[in-house]
Every structure is written in structure tokens, then in C-alpha cells.
Amino acid sequence: MDGNGRWAQERNLSRIDGHRAGAESVRTIVRACRRIGIPVLTLYAFSKENWQRPSREVQALWRLLRDYLKSELGEMMENNIRLNALGDIDELPRNVNRLLRDVMSKTATNNEMILNLALSYSGRSEIIRATQRLAAACVAQQLSPVEINESTFSAYLYTGDMPDPDLLIRTSGERRISNFLLWQTAYTELYVSPVYWPDFREPQLMEALEDYQRRERRFGRTREQRAKEVW
Ligand code: FPP
């Protein structure tokens, strides 16, 4: 969700104002995705690297997250949305962590859409964590090393048995992966929007989805092979 800072700067506002406007885009985009029928939406809200930002900004982000969770729980329940966190959420301030876990547990059986929030998340750390957990399972003889394959490995990631993302949207013209879902995005289609996140609303989402619909996904196979599989 890039570009909050630049959006604010261009309006002579503070970076925190930019994040506040960004939180409004979060509300709009979650609603739109639910209506369209997107089964899983993952928002990269805070990376492990973001801890290095000024503490005032970091604190403001946690306040915005807290407000968001409080104000959206009702709508998540009404719309059958399950909230899930990806990342090291024990690093979050205690009150945010508690609220997040509470919303996750209240929405745990909702099954129309999963809203993943990546918080204190790093793709490389996620892979290391999965490796450590796999190694521990082997040591405890719950798993044999020969049983480790792509699907067992995936199951040990934060995303567990969720499907890999079809589309990755990057806002504000950035053309980097920035440590996001490194394993899961192996075959994901990338879409770069020049628009800053606070201005990324439903028309921009629709444009991204229409662009995605025109893509041809071959997963390493030929066009003819893929056509046979699809039909
Ligand atoms: C990156 O833009 C954005 C963030 C690090 C924070 C994203 C947070 C929100 C949109 C609001 C809170 C989240 C929720 C889920 C309610 P940037 O600050 O790097 O922008 P810049 O590249 O223009 O400086």
C-alpha cells in the first residue's frame, strides 16, 4: 500500500495524514473485493523493515490499525470475512496484539473471504520460520525429511493451505517485490499502478482486475497445453 507519504507531501500534509487517507482506501478496497467475490485479499500493512521509521509514525500506524479493527469488526461479521494476520504479531504493541487476536478469533469461522493483514512481516523471515518449524517436526519425528516437498513446505508458511496469489498489485509506481510473499508469488501476475495508495479506490481496482483478465497464464507450459487444460 505504497505512496501514503508522497500523497501527503504533495498536499502539504503530514505522513500520518497520508496513512489516515490510506486506511480509507483499505475500507473501500476490502468492501469492493468482498462484493466482487475475491476469496483472499492480502494487504501489506507493515513490514519488519518499517520498524525503522520514526516512532511517532509507527505509533500512528498502530492507532490506525486499532481504529480499523474496532470499526470494521461488525462489517466483517455481517459479510462473513475472516481476518488473519501474516507476520510476527507478538512484536506489535500489547493492546494491538490483543485486539487483533480477538478479532481473529471472533471471525475465525467466517468463510466467504479471508482478509490477510501482513504485519511485522518479512518474506525471508517467513521462509526461515517455516524451515525452523519443519526441522523441529523432523527432530520430533513427526515428519521425515523425504516428506518435505513444495506442498508440505507451503503448509508451514503463514498462508498455510491458502492458494497462492493470482495477482499482486503494487501502487505508486514501485517495481519491487520488497520482501512480500516471496515463496507464494512464484507465478503471480504483477500489476504496477502509478496511483498513490490513498487514491487507489474502486475504479483503479477494476482497472487492475481487467488488466489481469487479459493476461495469459501458462505456468511454464505452452499456450496449446494450457488451452486444453482450461477447456
Ligand atoms: C507505505 O507507504 C505504507 C505503509 C508503510 C503503511 C500502510 C498503512 C495503512 C494504509 C493504514 C493502516 C492499515 C490498516 C490495515 C488500517 P509509504 O509511507 O512508504 O509512502 P511513501 O512511499 O510515499 O513514503
Q: Indicate whether 56 and 88 sit together in one domain.
A: yes
Rounded CA separation 60/40 (Å) = 27
Which amino acid belongs to residue 218?
A: R
pTM: 0.95
Rounded CA-CA distance 149/127 in Å is 14
Grid cell 494476520 — which residue? Answer: 85
* Residues 102 and 213 reside in one and the same domain: yes
CA–centroid distance, 231 to ligand 1, in Å, is 41
Name the β-bridge partners of 52. Answer: none
Residues 114 and 210 in one domain: yes
Final residue belonging to a domain, choices 133, 162, 191? 162
Q: Count CB neighbours of 88 within 10 A.
A: 16
Q: What is the pLDDT along the chain (231 residues), one digit of tens a residue?
A: 999 999 999 999 999 999 999 999 999 999 999 999 999 999 999 999 999 999 999 999 999 999 999 999 999 999 999 999 999 999 999 999 999 999 999 999 999 999 999 999 999 999 999 999 999 999 999 999 999 999 999 999 999 989 999 999 999 999 999 999 999 999 999 999 999 999 999 999 999 999 999 998 888 888 888 888 876
Q: Ligand 1 within 6 A of 198 CB?
A: no
Q: What is the pLDDT of residue 220?
A: 86
Confirm or reject: Cβ of 3 under 6 Å from ligand 1: yes
Q: What is the pLDDT of residue 216?
A: 86
**Which atom of ligand 1 sits closest to the CA of residue 18?**
18
CATH number of domain containing 213: 3.40.1180.10
- Decide: 23 in ligand 1 pocket, CB within 6 A: yes
Q: Determine the length of the chain.
A: 231
One domain for residues 43 and 139: no
Pick from 139, 162, 185: which residue ends a domain? 162
Query: With the C-alpha atoms ordered 86, 117, 79, 63, is the resulting torsion angle positive or negative?
Result: positive
**Do both 189 and 111 map to the same domain?**
yes
Asked if residue 126 and residue 199 are part of one domain, the reply reads no
Give CA torsion, residues 81, 83, 84, 88, to 10 deg: 160
- Residues with a known catalytic role: 2, 50
Instruction: Extract the C-alpha cell encoding 56.
Output: 511517532
173 and 97 in a single domain? The answer is yes
Domain range for 144: 122-162
CA distances from 191 to 69, 199, 208, 211 (A): 28, 16, 7, 8
What pLDDT is recorded for position 228? 84
Name the domain count of the chain. Answer: 2
Q: Are residues 111 and 88 in the same domain?
A: yes
Q: Do 49 and 135 lie in a common domain?
A: no
pLDDT score recorded for residue 231? 64
Q: Is there a single domain that holds both residue 148 and residue 200?
A: no
Nearest ligand 1 atom to the CA of 198 is 10
Instruction: Check whether residue 156 and residue 191 sit in a common domain.
Output: no
Ligand 1, closest atom to CA 53? 5
User: Hey, what amino acid is at 176?
Assistant: R
Contact (CB, 8 A) for 44 and 1: yes
